[in-house]
A and B are shown apart, each in its own frame.
Chain A
């Protein structure tokens, strides 16, 4: 190592001070960022919610139920009950039922989904996630996932 390549004591101390200041800044900022990050997170808990009595649903009648704070649309089709996440995959609006088209419709940007939750018109990029439904003792039970 020649003379020019050697790090002088002053340069070394400069780096040490700069590194110390940077460490101090990170130590100060990191707790702030972690404080601002949302503290509560919901784990993948499975729960079942009742959507009401099966005989209260007419054919093609729908209902929005809350599962773990998330809205789910329950539809009675001639073949049985289906349930989908009611949050539009485009920009997060709550979908409803378009009786004339027999499709799930988003009121925000005219997105439409078929009875299998697949997008058929408008801007939604993905299909709606399906929830399991079971009718037990005449009660419509919707699973969280």
Chain B
């Protein structure tokens, strides 16, 4: 590290900066496995998007007012009156969607490359918690604009908590701050979203990164047969991998701005607790669970929807095969692909259910379970 001489001398008189310099140099020039590629940048992208959420979130807090009388109006003020408010909110809302997507891709990369195996099981578990925390961020943040969609998605989402046997009703009341979704719920979600979750996620990320840097990135070598990566064969973290990340960051910023400009986040109508609009759908990352819940009674549905999450959490301990290369793990890879396809199919069913669509000139009504029924007339919407 090249500090200006005067600053270096000033610091050296007070601190043992040699230790810090050695640590920083070791981290910066740490060799990465030869198979490190673009897929390995999604972890850093997720981190970058988290920082984007923190910065834009702080900026939004300046004008946002978390009460039922002012929440919707303050978001409208941000969108229409505050200078570049539309951009800040767009960065925050689209950033949230992209962050969940990046975390998902990062998890898929880890899964298919067998990087969760011994000795990195804990890194995987912390990663699953990070994913859960990110999704909870999305759920709590969705209510804050206090519009019809957010209000009713939160009503349905928190109602599901009530299905947990014995403690469900207590949890629901605790989460909502009462029987229904009211200003109390808004205040609680706000506190969770801007104070509790950021600290929890920060601690999870720090632990995840610490484990990742200490254990290094996984190779395709079998469990227990990994050899230390020497500098002559590995890819230097700096500048090689950092440059790769820089390229992807630029593409991501381009994508973010494009999304904000082409598909601006709308505010919709203010929440009305007495009118449920037609076609209430959750955010895309909840669609598979939303659709799955339709096929089962409430309590059973809740348990069925918990199975994939439990599997995800425990997968690193369930898969005991020493192989890492996807070609040598046909069962695990097949399970992974099947789970992914299932999530996509349920997500699509959830998206298209309870809608009228036109396909090849014919009109269909897709029912609650995703089954199309031919209509004789053209749909109204």
Chain A interfacial positions (CB closer than 8 Å to B):
36-38, 40, 64, 66, 69-71, 86, 90-96, 106-110, 122-123, 125
Contact = CB atoms under 8 A, between A and B. Distances in A.
19 contacts: A37-B174, A38-B176, A38-B177, A64-B274, A66-B274, A91-B155, A91-B156, A91-B298, A92-B155, A92-B180, A93-B155, A93-B156, A93-B280, A94-B274, A107-B277, A107-B278, A108-B152, A122-B368, A123-B297
Interface residues of B, number: 26
Interface in B267-299: 273-280, 294, 297-298
B177 A123 contact: no
Interface of B: 152, 155-156, 159-160, 173-174, 176-178, 180, 184, 273-280, 294, 297-298, 354, 367-368
Contact of B159 (A38, A91, A95, A96): A91
A71 B178 contact: no
A125 B297 contact: yes
A111 to B, nearest CB: 9
A17 to B, nearest CB: 28
Contacts of B294: 109, 123
Main secondary structure of the interface of B (DSSP, over half): loop
Contacts of A92: 155-156, 159, 180
A96 to B, nearest CB: 8
B177 A107 contact: no
Nearest to B173: A38
Contacts of B160: 91
Nearest to B299: A125
Given A109-B294, A123-B294, A94 B275 contact: yes
Contacts of A106: 276
B180 A69 contact: yes
Nearest to A123: B294
Contacts of B180: 69-70, 92
A40 B156 contact: no
Contacts of A69: 180
A131 to B, nearest CB: 15
Nearest to A110: B368
Contacts of A96: 276
A130 to B, nearest CB: 19
A40 B53 CA distance: 34
B178 A40 contact: yes
Contacts of A108: 152, 156, 276, 280
Instruction: Give the 7 A-B residue pairs with the shortest CB-CB distance, closest first.
Output: A93-B276, A94-B276, A92-B159, A91-B159, A110-B368, A91-B156, A38-B178
Contacts of A93: 152, 155-156, 276, 280
A110 B276 contact: no
Nearest to B298: A125
A110 B354 contact: yes
A93 B368 CA distance: 15
Nearest to A72: B274
A37 to B, nearest CB: 7
Nearest to B152: A93
